[in-house]
Amino acid sequence: MHQYRGRMIIHTGSMFSGKTSSLEKDLKRFSIANYKVVAFKPIVDSRYSKKEIVTHDKISLKAMPVETSDDILREVEKRSPEVIGIDEVQFLNDSPENVLSNIEKILGKGITVVIAGLDMDYTAKPFEIVKELMPKADYLHKHHAVCKSCGADAWVSHRKIASDKRVEIGAIEEYEPLCRACYKKAMINDKLNKNQETFI
């Protein structure tokens, strides 16, 4: 595993594509190889647990809740890990520039950084931090869920509930993975339903 020393590994894609599961597997492999591993998660993501990273199939991993990448850097300097994991990086309450700067500092210490994050929001707009991190990655894995409508590779997470907030923490009740074609059909239906509601 020494070839990953000071490298950045990114797992990205839509919801339900296995990003967090892949992060958990990577961190577990490093732990088995006797590397000192510390995992982090944004404090805002408390869907399943406040102090654990939990995959949608309920596999869990202890993690430290943080607000920003500054918190991560402070803990890294305090704990001196060899590998860190950051789940749902797009939910950090931070500017992309600051996250990039802090991750570069961590990588500069020879620490391996494994990251999982959504590439796009429910409107198919890229999350800025993930967009900035992807070209900087040493290893980049784009994961695909199965389209809930047709069974093809999913492209984006379609929000099923009525909300215009960009960040709406949820799971299978609130979101569904869709391919590009099925997403476009769903967006047309969403607009029609919204228009109908205004006339009722």
Give phi and psi for 160, each to the nearest 5. Answer: -95, -15
* Token pair recorded at residue 113: 């950084």
Active site residue: 24, 52, 82, 88, which one? 88
Q: Is 75 assigned a catalytic role? A: no
Cβ neighbors of 57 (< 8 A, separation 6 or more) are: 21
Residue-level length of the chain: 200
Residue type, 59: I
- Between helix 96-108 and helix 69-79 the angle, nearest 10°, is 20
Active-site residue list: 88
